[in-house]
Structure formats: C-alpha cells, structure tokens
Amino acid sequence: MIILQTQNEVRVALADKKKLALIPTMGNLHDGHISLIEHAKNYADKIIVSIFVNPIQFNSKNDLKNYPRTLSRDISILRDLGIDILFNPTDKEMYPSKPLLNYKLPSLATQLCGAKRAGHFEGVITVIEKLFDLFKPDHVFFGKKDYQQLMLIKKFILDKRYKITLHPIETVREDNSLALSSRNNLLRPQSKVTASTLYKTLKDTIKDLKKTNNINQAELSAIKKLTSLGWHVDYVEIRRQTDLLKPTTNDKNLVILGAAYFEDVRLIDNIEFCTDDTKCL
C-alpha cells in the first residue's frame, strides 16, 4: 500500500490507470468500511481509500473537533486488507482556496438531515466532486446507513454524467443492531444499549404502519417513543426508496429514516421496507 497526501502524487501514481474503485471515508474505520472494501475487491484492479475529515460538511466546530481520528490504526487495517492506495490529504491540499461548488443541489439536500445541518450536503458533494475528478474511478462504494447522502451522490453522478458505477452496500450492525458508525465511539459503552433503540423503534414503526396505514401517525408515535427513551429527535420520516420524496398511496417500496441525539451524539439509521410484501421489488 502506498500513502499519498497530494494531488500531484495521485496523478503520478495513476499514470497507468487501471480499473479503479474508490471508497471515500473520514477514517476511524470499522466493519462497515471493511464491508465496502471487500465488495470493491470484486470489481477493480486497484482499490483506493481516502481518509479526510472534511471540515466544510460540519455545521458545528465542536462536532468537527470531537470527530474520532485514528489514523495509525486505520493505516494498519488498510495494509492488512491489501489496499493499493491510501489518500490522506491535508485541509490545505484539498482546499487551497475557498471551496466553490458549481452544482445546484436538488431540494432533497435541504430536507431530513439537510434541514437540521445547513450546508452539510453542499460540503459532502464538494469533496466528492474533488475526489471523483482527481481519481476518475470506475466504481465507488457507499453504505446505505447514510441513505440521504447516497441518494444525493447518485443524482450528482447522473447530473454530471460521470462514467462511474455507484454500489450501495447494506448497513453493518453491532450485535445489538446498532448501525456501525464512527460516532458510536463517542458513546459510553453502557449507552450503546439504549442507542440500539433507534433501530428497534424504526422496526416497530414499520409494523405499526402496516396495521394502521397512517404514515403521519406512525411517524409521530416513533418520535414520542424515542423521546420517552431519552432521545432528542431531529426527525423520523417515511419516504419513497427511489427518490426520498414523500410517498403517495400507490407507493409500496418505502424507507423509514431517523436522526436523533443520544447523550449529545447524533446518530442516524434507516430501514427499507415494502407495505405489501407480495409487491416488493
């Protein structure tokens, strides 16, 4: 594995470009990231992992400061996995001047997580555009845990006509069903038991919805339940899987998404489901 820190180093290293897979991360690697890497091995000659804690996608200075950083451990993991290239740039290398995104994000970027984190997705797409233009990958891999981010990147690839295949990878979970996230490391060990109730509540809400067929009632009940368990809820919403728009009565393939704080740690999760199991795609 070679470690590159500048864009010029990348251009030299990829002069004999082969079929490339890119996995963008912010480090503090866990089994969710490893799952992305293992999937990538089936599609590419070279696998590139980027580790860059992107400052412009944080809307809180404390959140940026507290984000877990474990570079030495991450390097060891990537070496053991046989990664070809680790790209670990500095902030100045990625943003030598004020970042400018010449792309108009869809209205979805201001909903759900975007409604609570102003500028977040603009920061995400800005760094993704830089990485795509630099590496020109054939394949990219993203986890479904960040469902809204996945949808926005998918649309970005289509709008910009990148010749990139996006692979959505299923969420990896801890034994108690808590979705793996670098932010989980900010929780006290005993708090992870309660943190797993986010997933359980979303799962129970799907069951309630199938009984009542009332989306608003199901969403409100989920929020009330999470609040009673000590969560500060940003949202619980049920949307269409294809585009994350609000569903109509004819939509069957849905996803429930939730974002909430537990002990000042913001966690997100989602579950894809079908209202009529006989019509699931």
Residue 210 shares a structural domain with residue 145: no
Q: What is the per-residue pLDDT across 31-59, written as a single tens digit (0 to 9) for each?
A: 999 999 999 999 999 999 999 999 999 98
- Taken as a whole, the chain contains a residue count of 281
- Geometric angle at alpha carbon 228, from 222 and 229, rounded to 5°: 90
Distances 38 to 31, 41, 74, 141, 270 between C-alpha atoms, Å? 10, 5, 15, 10, 22
Beta bridge partners of 166: 140
In a domain, 22, yes or no: yes
Residue 229 shares a structural domain with residue 143: no
Give the strand pairing for 139-143 and 20-25.
parallel
Question: What pLDDT, on a 0 to 100 scale, did the predictor assign at position 216?
Answer: 96
What is the C-alpha separation between 24 and 33, in angstroms, rounded? 9
Beta bridge partners of 179: 173
Question: What pLDDT, on a 0 to 100 scale, did the predictor assign at position 276?
Answer: 82
Question: What pLDDT, on a 0 to 100 scale, did the predictor assign at position 18?
Answer: 82
Question: What pLDDT, on a 0 to 100 scale, did the predictor assign at position 95?
Answer: 97
CB-CB contact of 122 with 101 (8 Å):
yes
In a domain, 277, yes or no: no
Q: What is the per-residue pLDDT across 137-173, written as a single tens digit (0 to 9) for each?
A: 999 999 999 999 999 999 999 999 999 999 999 999 9
Domain membership of residue 125 as a residue range: 2-169
- Name the token pair of 187: 């929780």
The number of domains in the chain is 2
Query: End of a domain among 139, 169, 199?
Result: 169
Q: Going residue by residue through the chain, which has 281 residues, state the pLDDT in tens, using 9 for 90 and above.
A: 999 999 999 999 998 878 999 999 999 999 999 999 999 999 999 999 999 999 999 988 999 999 999 999 999 999 999 999 999 999 999 999 999 999 999 999 999 999 989 999 999 999 999 999 999 999 999 999 999 999 999 999 999 999 999 999 999 999 999 999 999 999 998 899 899 999 999 999 999 999 999 999 999 999 999 999 999 999 999 999 999 999 998 899 999 999 999 999 999 999 999 998 665 65
Residue 148 shares a structural domain with residue 18: yes
CB-CB contact of 205 with 197 (8 Å):
no
Known catalytic membership, residue 232:
no
What is the C-alpha separation between 79 and 147, in angstroms, rounded? 29
CATH (domain of 69): 3.40.50.620
pTM for this structure?
A: 0.95
- Name the token pair of 150: 């996945």
Q: Name the residue with tokens 């009984």.
A: 211
Rg (CA), the chain: 19
Residue 47 shares a structural domain with residue 164: yes
Query: End of a domain among 145, 169, 193?
Result: 169
Residue 162 shares a structural domain with residue 98: yes
Identified catalytic residue from 33, 39, 120, 232: 33
Residue 192 shares a structural domain with residue 268: yes
Which SS3 state, helix, strand or coil, does residue 202 take? helix
Question: What pLDDT, on a 0 to 100 scale, did the predictor assign at position 12?
Answer: 95
CATH (domain of 233): 3.30.1300.10
